[in-house]
Amino acid sequence: MKDVYLLSGFLGSGKTSLLAHLIAQFKAEGLKPAVIMNELGKLAFDSRVVDNDVPLKEMLEGCICCTGSEKMEAQLQTLLEGETFDVLLIETTGAAHPVEAMDAVFSPLFASKLNMKGIVTVADCKRWLERDKMTPQTRMLFLEQIKHAHLIVANKTDLLSDSEVASVTMQIQSLNNAAPIIQTSNSKIPLALITKLEATFHEKGINKTAIGKQLFLSSRLHTFSDAVDQDSFEDWVRSLPDTVYRIKGYVPLKGHKNPYLFQYAYGMVQWLPEFMKMEPQIVLIGDQIDRIEIIGESSYD
């Protein structure tokens, strides 16, 4: 399994600086990093910090968490098939919600190949002091990125006085006291701080990823042994508890040659025919999904 780190943080907080710093440190350890960068603008400006010998996939325009989930899967697929690397660093746009960005990594295609080590959020201390100037929606995103981090990098401390640094760090920590926080300038963190993150536990086919103190998101991969009836499958989906947030994958349907691409999010289901014979597998993401009986399993009536 390859370790994956998601670099989150508000626009201009210092994610690219962190990326450059981590790449250099991984290389110094003899490990080969690969990078996926998701930029909102058309210009691949930040990718200049990534050396030519580092496999790089860019997703320009559109954000991983909104429209880019399929694009991201395609990029992951090409990386896994075409490149050799040891760790994957994904830099999200500053406008991405970290949990939704993480959803893109949980795909049936990669469940057994990628190990989500954690979300590292860079928090701009200077901006924190001026957060009241943000619109409520933007401020909410800024706070959410901090709340869902497994490690918080309190950056740009050089722009603050010592007492401001102390009080800002305390305030940021109070939003998420499960994550360690480190004060930095230019996002210079020791590598060991991130390599020791263990956001995901692997047990009996379930990958359980902790987000903050209370929230645990689990992903569970299910492989179908037989085709299922489409109506019965939809009935099963509707019968699921609200704690199943997302299902995606390929479902083998009775009467059809190839498994259909199936997506479920926020109560909406979507089917798309697939022209290739994909592995009949789905991933469920949610809370307590280990207790769910999956249609087609021997114990399910």
Residues 6+ apart with CB under 8 A from 106: 116, 207, 219, 246, 283, 285
How far out from the chain centre does Cα 184 lie? Answer: 23
Site string for ligand GTP, 33-52 (x = CB under 6 A): -------------x------
Q: Does 158 bind ligand GTP (CB under 6 A)?
A: yes
Contacting range for ligand GTP; rule: CB under 6 A; set: 11-19, 54-62, 102-110, 193-201 = 11-19
Contacting range for ligand GTP; rule: CB under 6 A; set: 132-140, 144-152, 156-164, 254-262 = 156-164
Q: Does 15 bind ligand GTP (CB under 6 A)?
A: yes
Q: Does 60 bind ligand GTP (CB under 6 A)?
A: no
Smallest CA-to-CA distance from 269 within 254, 249, 286 is with 249
Q: Does 138 bind ligand GTP (CB under 6 A)?
A: no
Contact 215, 176 (CB under 8 A): no
How, if at all, do strands 215-223 and 281-286 pair?
Answer: antiparallel
Count the residues of the shown chain that bind ligand GTP, applying the rule CB under 6 A.
17
Residues 6+ apart with CB under 8 A from 8: 15, 92, 96, 98, 101, 119, 120, 121, 122, 145, 148, 149
- Nearest distance, CB of residue 263 and ligand GTP, angstroms: 28
Q: Does 9 bind ligand GTP (CB under 6 A)?
A: yes
Q: Which is nearer to ligand GTP, 15 or 220 (CB)?
A: 15
Q: Which of 186, 230, 258, 263 binds ligand GTP (CB under 6 A)?
A: 186
- Nearest distance, CB of residue 301 and ligand GTP, angstroms: 50
Interface contacts to ligand GTP, rule CB under 6 A: 9, 11-17, 46, 94, 155-156, 158-159, 185-187
